[in-house]
């Protein structure tokens, strides 16, 4: 049986895979699993602006309330705002309704436990198991109430702005909000710190979230940075837990480079705990090389910011993230926060007086090709001897000058084929050949 939870909650086609009935049941089960010893537990619900988020929010709120949980609806906010307010309100759980960087027809449900932390595998399994169990529900004055909290977004904004020690005056920044949760708060945060801000894709109707914009489609942002003579560009995804950047020459700065900039700056400031950065196996070899030269240790995890967070908590580390732009700064947030990351990245530009392009030079990525192979049975990847042999042959071809990584996506029905090599041509050739083999062996 396929596991319901992926690498970041439950995600699928809204009103198809992810129905109101499923959302109701998930919320009720989550309340049972996560309520702890609270006699009158509370929960926080936020969402991105997808139209389907409206009925899913209603279903989740109903599921929590019928399980005896008091519900605070905080409206359209970034995912990290939910995590922050779960901790701030001493709630037993939080729910973010978003499919992150996925297209508009999809939606998802992300859960946070007490303290604003993402769930463990065991907690997710318990919630999923609870879907098939009938439990007695409270009645009378034991049911929960549902209230709106219009001040929540401002509390989150005040928090992230307060983490920047100086202003960003003198910087001209273009921010692409992906027509998602960043649309109001990202420009407000930048302006509150004195930056001159040009805004792209800030519609809140939800119909065009992530549609040829944001962190998965940065081309318009790159053009806008050049056209406006901006110092930098910032790209978020639909729920604003990602941040990618663009330098003044229009060149994309990915999550590996952002983590490298922040890690080295924090080491110099004496704030990088144990001089260690946590990143996933998808991070480019160039990041590892840069960190080694700077005297910083790299700890690698499986793909998914939840695994980064688990390793950070286990080791007491304060900085981690993913190449995709999920960056976790645990001194200020319990999860990846795209707006917070942007503020701290731009703060480095301001405090050092160096252009973003110069700062990004600390990480020199090796050419990397990523191919998504669809139409295959990704559940058979781990058990396929033919694919294992193909991977070994590809790695042998690259020798010590590159690497190969195959993994099933936790959020999409594809297998990701990633190859790093000394040149683009070699990486592309090896990746395409391997992707073809995956398609032939594992075709549905």
Give the bridge partners for 10, in sequence order: 109
Note the pLDDT of residue 197.
Answer: 98
- Provide the pLDDT confidence category of residue 382 given band limits of 50, 70 and 90: confident
Cα separation, 280 vs 290, whole angstroms: 16
Note the pLDDT of residue 4.
Answer: 93
Q: Report residue 13 as tokens.
A: 């086609």
Q: What is the mean pLDDT of residues 234-249?
A: 98
Q: What is the pTM of this model?
A: 0.90
Assign domain 368-442 to its CATH architecture.
2-Layer Sandwich (3.30)
Enumerate the domain spans of the chain.
Answer: 10-151, 163-360, 368-442
If one counts every other C-beta atom within 10 angstroms of the C-beta of residue 259, the result is 29
Note the pLDDT of residue 2.
Answer: 74
Choose the most confident range, by mean pLDDT, from 147-156, 371-380, 434-443: 147-156
- pLDDT digit string, tens, across residues 430-443: 999 999 999 999 98
Note the pLDDT of residue 1.
Answer: 53
Is 163-360 a domain of CATH 3.40.120.10? yes
Note the pLDDT of residue 380.
Answer: 87
Catalytic residues: 100
- Tally of residues, the chain: 444
CATH superfamily of domain region 10-151: Alpha-D-Glucose-1,6-Bisphosphate, subunit A, domain 3 (3.40.120.10)
With CA atoms as reference, report the closest residue to 391 among 377, 404, 409, 410.
404
- pLDDT digit string, tens, across residues 312-358: 999 999 999 999 999 999 999 999 999 999 999 999 999 999 999 99
Note the pLDDT of residue 36.
Answer: 84
- Provide the pLDDT confidence category of residue 444 given band limits of 50, 70 and 90: low
Q: What is the mean pLDDT of residues 386-397?
A: 92
pLDDT of 400 over the 80 cut: no
Query: HSE-up of 404 (CA within 13 Å, CB side)?
Result: 25
Q: What is the mean pLDDT of residues 112-139?
A: 93
- Do 10-151 and 368-442 fold alike per CATH? no
Rounded to the nearest integer, the mean pLDDT of the chain is: 95
- pLDDT digit string, tens, across residues 170-228: 999 999 999 999 999 999 999 999 999 999 999 999 999 999 999 999 999 999 999 99
137-141, 371-375, 376-380: which has the minimum mean pLDDT?
376-380
pLDDT of 25 over the 90 cut: yes
Cα separation, 30 vs 226, whole angstroms: 47
Q: What is the mean pLDDT of residues 109-135?
A: 94
pLDDT of 410 over the 80 cut: no
Choose the most confident range, by mean pLDDT, from 10-19, 303-312, 390-399: 10-19
Note the pLDDT of residue 26.
Answer: 98
């Amino acid at each position: 049986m396929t596991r319901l939870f992926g690498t970041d909650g439950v995600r699928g086609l809204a009103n198809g895979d992810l129905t109101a009935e499923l959302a109701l049941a998930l919320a009720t089960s989550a309340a049972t699993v996560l309520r702890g010893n609270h006699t009158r537990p509370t929960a926080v619900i936020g969402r991105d602006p997808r139209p389907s988020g409206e009925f899913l929010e209603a279903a989740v709120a109903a599921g929590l309330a019928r399980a005896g949980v008091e519900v605070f609806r905080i409206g359209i906010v970034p995912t990290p705002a939910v995590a922050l307010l779960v901790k701030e309100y001493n709630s037993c759980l939080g729910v973010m309704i978003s499919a992150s960087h996925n297209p508009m027809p999809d939606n998802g449900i992300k859960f946070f436990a007490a303290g604003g932390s993402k769930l463990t595998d065991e907690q997710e399994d318990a919630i999923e198991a609870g879907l098939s169990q009938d439990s007695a529900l409270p009645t009378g004055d034991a049911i929960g109430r549902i209230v709106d909290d219009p001040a929540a977004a401002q509390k989150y904004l005040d928090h992230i702005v307060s983490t920047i020690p100086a202003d960003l005056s003198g910087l001209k920044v273009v921010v692409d909000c992906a027509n998602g949760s960043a649309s109001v708060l990202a420009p407000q945060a930048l302006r509150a710190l004195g930056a001159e801000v040009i805004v792209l894709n800030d519609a809140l109707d939800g119909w065009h979230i992530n549609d040829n914009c944001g962190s998965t489609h940065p081309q318009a942002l790159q053009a806008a940075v050049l056209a406006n003579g901006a110092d930098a560009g910032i790209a978020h995804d639909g729920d604003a837990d990602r941040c990618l950047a663009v330098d003044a020459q229009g060149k994309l700065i990915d999550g590996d480079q952002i983590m490298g900039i922040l890690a080295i700056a924090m080491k110099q400031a004496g704030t990088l705990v144990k001089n260690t950065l946590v990143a996933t196996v998808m991070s480019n070899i160039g990041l590892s090389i840069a960190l080694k030269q700077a005297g910083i240790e790299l700890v690698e995890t499986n793909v998914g910011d939840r695994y980064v967070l688990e390793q950070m908590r286990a080791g007491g580390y304060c900085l981690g993230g993913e190449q995709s732009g999920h960056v976790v700064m645990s001194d200020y947030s319990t999860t990846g926060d795209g707006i917070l990351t942007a503020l701290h990245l731009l703060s480095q530009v301001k405090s050092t007086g160096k252009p973003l392009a110069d700062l990004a030079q600390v990480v020199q990525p090796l050419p990397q090709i990523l191919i998504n192979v669809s139409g295959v049975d990704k559940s058979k990847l781990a058990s396929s001897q033919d694919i294992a042999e193909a991977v070994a042959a590809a790695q042998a071809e690259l020798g010590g000058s590159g690497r190969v990584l195959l993994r099933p996506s936790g959020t999409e029905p594809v297998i990701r084929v990633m190859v790093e090599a000394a040149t683009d041509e070699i990486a592309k050739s090896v990746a395409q050949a391997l992707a073809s083999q995956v398609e032939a062996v594992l075709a549905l």
